[in-house]
Amino acid sequence: MSGHAIGGVRNLLRLEGLCVLAVALYAYGHAGYGWGLFAMCFFLPDLSFAGYLGGARLGAATYNAAHSYLGAIACLAIGMHFAVPAVVGAGLVWIAHIGFDRALGYGLKYASGFHHTHLGRIGRGPAA
């Protein structure tokens, strides 16, 4: 086994990401949040790339923390539970970002390097 999704399973996971993105966008728009704020915050989870300055293991850990649905759904649930619209909006933007990344084929990272993800290898260069 290769350690990443291939073929139809990979395509299904990418389609799931697209569906998550679509639902998060719909919910965000339906709630009446501003699209300017959405645009400003959409790529904030990618600041986690900075973890790679400390090496592949730290980079994978910080990237995965920012690109796992666990934190994003927790943010959304906390915002809904405590009726804090800004936190709900942040959770929806975060979920949309993850769905967008998954739809493009960017998966959670392995500590072996940035290019090795659960959805397969990304980027240029020879496969490992």
Show pLDDT as tens, one digit a residue, over the chain (128 residues). Answer: 467 888 899 999 999 999 999 999 999 999 999 999 999 999 999 999 999 999 999 999 999 999 999 999 999 999 999 999 999 999 999 999 999 999 999 999 999 988 889 988 887 655 54
The predicted pLDDT at position 126 comes to 56
The predicted pLDDT at position 127 comes to 52
Give the separation between CA 71 and CA 64, rounded to whole angstroms: 10
Q: pTM for the full model?
A: 0.92
Q: Which of 43, 54, 37, 60 is nearest to 104 (CA)?
A: 43
Give the separation between CA 58 and CA 91, rounded to whole angstroms: 24
